[in-house]
Amino acid sequence: MRCPVCNGKSVGKVGVDQFYCWDCFVEYQKQGDNIKIYSVAEDGSLIDFHEPASIS
């Protein structure tokens, strides 16, 4: 399996239909024909990849 963001091959499975890319550091989830992509925050929470990052 290749990453849908960078097309890298360094992908690991982290859950049922959930994967992590070690090349571009995103987590993604396959839902049927759709793929949801997330950035991983410093605290480990998932942030929608397409949302702008907030500055605190």
37 found inside a domain: yes
- Kindly tell me the sign of the dihedral angle through the C-alpha atoms of 1, 32, 16, 24: positive
pTM of the model: 0.79
Which structural domain, as residue segments, surrounds residue 39?
Answer: 11-48
Q: Note the pLDDT of residue 33.
A: 87
Q: CA dihedral defined by 11, 13, 17, 20, rounded to 10 degrees? A: -50
| Count: domains in the chain | 1
Residues of the chain with pLDDT under 50: 54-56
55 found inside a domain: no
Q: Note the pLDDT of residue 51.
A: 54
Q: Note the pLDDT of residue 15.
A: 93
Q: Note the pLDDT of residue 31.
A: 86
Q: Note the pLDDT of residue 52.
A: 53
Residue at 9: amino acid letter: K
3 found inside a domain: no
